[in-house]
Amino acid sequence: MAHQQFQTEVRQLLDIVIHAFYSDREVFVRELVSNASDALEKLRLKQLTESAVYEPERELRIAITTDEEAKTLTIADSGIGMTEEEVVEFLGTIAHSGTKKFLEAAKEKGGAQDLIGQFGVGFYSVFMAADKVEVTTRSWQPDAAPVHWVSDGQEGYELEAAPADTPRGTSILIHLKEDAANFSKPDHVRYVLGKYSNFVGFPIDFNGEHLNTVQAIWMKNKKDVTEEEYTGFYNFIAHTEGKPLTHMHFSADAPIVLNSVLFVPEENPEMMGFGRTKPDVALYCHKVLIDSKPDKLLPEWLRFLSGVVDSEDLPLNISREMLQDNSLLRRISGIITKRFIKHLTELAKNDADTYEKFWRGFGRYIKEGIVTSWEHKPELSKLLRFESTFTDAGKLTSFADYVSRMKENQKDIYVLYGASRAQLEHSPYLDALTARGFEVCFFTEGGDPFVVDGLMKFDEKDIKAIDRAGLELPPMEDTAPDAPALDETAAKTLTDWVTEAFKDKFSKVSTTDRVTSAPAIALQAENDLSPEVKAYLRAMGQEVPETHPEIAFNPRNPIVLKLAELQGSDTELAKLLATQLIDTALLRAGMLDDPAALAENSQQLLEKLLNK
């Protein structure tokens, strides 16, 4: 048996591996199985190009065995194998290993636990857990002699001829350290293999049992995958027994090689009270797991998805630290996100019932995406669903459908926010729009103003909230020309009096034709915070700046006509009545900060009227 020294750089690397603290020792199993898979793939290519391959009939497999008593783990393959020269080159010197680059990166990072394998030095990770390693290998070349390599990972290694009957491929016998003896226990190794190597493209035999029975369906043509296979794969990766609501199977060759299968669950766990979900889309490279839950693989608003993304363009075993700041990962994220948005768009077009179910369960994520992913906002806006004045209760519509129904003299899209459809249907803000035959969209979830106001436009048409000041509407025919109304002089007298009586409270007091039923409406001034934003600031314990809404009176309302009369004859009663009308308008607009004041004023107004 000949003793040979490691190259200096290899000794430095092994010193890092052996003496550094590793929180994730199981990575060495992943590395060796990945190397075995590569060796099998190379042998398969040789069989296509070479006429003479040693043991051509031998099946391409990976065999893994444990021995608790001896505290050993063996990982063997029937792949391409190595000659004696290749053993020295790949396992004892710097050639082709990337060891020098690894050492430079390790010095920069201050450690190596996240870098093992990144530069092609995955084999050396075995010394995280091994006291001694024996490699027995036979090349695919018929005339090559089998070789036995032994090292304790210290100064060098022993090299000798292996038995003549050594089969083709490579077998790695790992003598485990005392504190790594759990890698000789079947249950633990089975867990590690299931975590990292379930989808390796070659059969894995573990202690005589075929292990990787779940296929990597994301690498197959979707025409060759049945619905039962999709469901079975979803059950496996999502740890559930149900069916997915929908799935997307996506492959691309350019600009990045990608294969992906993503699933939407039938139920939203966040709506079921399980708290905020975590991303559940795993990242693979050549069917080898890189990270089971990478934080930045997809945007946060897609956290409801389960599935797999596999990219051959990623460096195998890229570290988690590098994943956090990797331009290629950001490009992958952008491609997958755009493709999933397209999938939802096609689902909405071709299977409206399934999309409606998706929307009712997961629509809040689409809204979150509109707010947080500005680059996807235009396409996400097409996925929004809501009720409107033109739909029956419970029936949903879209902005695209809304635009198709717009009147010839209508230039904007009109929306109204509130707690429920029932509340909005009684809103005084609807009066002017209904009278003109214009449709109004109802948005009834707490964050909707942030979402829709953030859009600003759809299909080049402005989106306008009808409870805001400055809303311009086309003129409307006077349907009741003989009805009593304040003339221009009386209207100015009233609004001037209210402005003075409630000095510095309102940005503007006017009369309007935007209301036909209520005596008055409150309008959010252009620079004022919305009620929703004010509520958010209060919830966060922040100071809420003072707002100055506009008040607009209905000049045809009998109560307003009476107010104008009282303003000149009974100022005290007029002030109580004006306060009642104004506070009611503010309450209906969600702008009344102290509802108790309305009740108190109501009592004073009643007492005044009863004592007249």
Block mean pLDDT (10 aa), the chain, length 612: 70 63 72 89 87 92 97 97 91 52 49 40 81 96 96 87 96 96 96 85 91 85 93 86 93 91 91 75 85 86 95 67 69 94 98 97 96 94 98 97 95 94 93 93 92 93 92 74 83 95 92 89 82 75 83 94 91 93 91 87 88 76
Which of 348, 264, 369 minimizes the C-alpha distance to 307?
264
Q: How many residues does the chain have?
A: 612
Q: Which residues pair with 258 in a beta bridge?
A: 252, 311
- What are the distances in angstroms from CA 473 to CA 54, 390, 411, 453, 512? 85, 19, 9, 19, 11
Q: What is the pLDDT of residue 99?
A: 45
What is the rounded distance in angstroms from the CA atom of residue 259 to the CA atom of residue 243? 22
| Local structure of 317: helix, strand or coil | coil
Question: How far, CA to CA in Å, does 397 sit from each of 55, 181, 406, 451, 508?
Answer: 66, 61, 13, 17, 36
Q: What is the reported pLDDT for 478?
A: 59
- Residues 384/398, Cβ–Cβ less than 8 Å: yes
Tell me if the pTM is above 0.85.
Answer: no
Distance CA 502, CA 551 (A): 11
Return the number of other C-beta atoms located less than 10 Å from residue 96's C-beta: 10
CB-based contact 298:279 (threshold 8 Å): yes
Characterize 552-564 residue by residue with b for buried, 16 or more Cβ atoms within 10 angstroms of its Cβ, and e for exposed. Answer: bbbbbbeebbebb
SS3 66: strand
Confidence at residue 547, expressed as pLDDT on a 0 to 100 scale: 80
Residue labelled with tokens 């350019």: 254
Q: Look at residue 537 in the predicted model and tell me its pLDDT.
A: 75
Assigned token pair, 398:
């879209």
Determine the pLDDT at residue 164. Answer: 95
Query: How far is it, in rounded angstroms, from Cα 146 to Cα 161?
Result: 6
Q: Are 413 and 464 in contact (CB under 8 A)?
A: yes
Amino acid residing at 14: L
Burial of 314 (0-12, 13-18, 19+ CB in 10 A): buried
**pLDDT value for 104:** 54
140, exposed or middle or buried, with CB in 10 Å at 0-12, 13-18, 19+? Answer: buried
DSSP 518: S
List C-alpha distances in Å: 454 to 291, 369, 397, 450. 34, 11, 19, 6
How high is the pLDDT of residue 597?
87
Q: CA angle, 411 as apex, 405 and 417 as ends, to 5°?
A: 75
**248: exposed, middle or buried (C-beta count within 10 Å: 0-12, 13-18, 19+)?**
buried
Asked whether 17 and 127 are in contact (CB, 8 A), the reply is yes
Q: What's the angle, vertex CA 156, arms to CA 153 and CA 158, rounded to 5?
A: 100
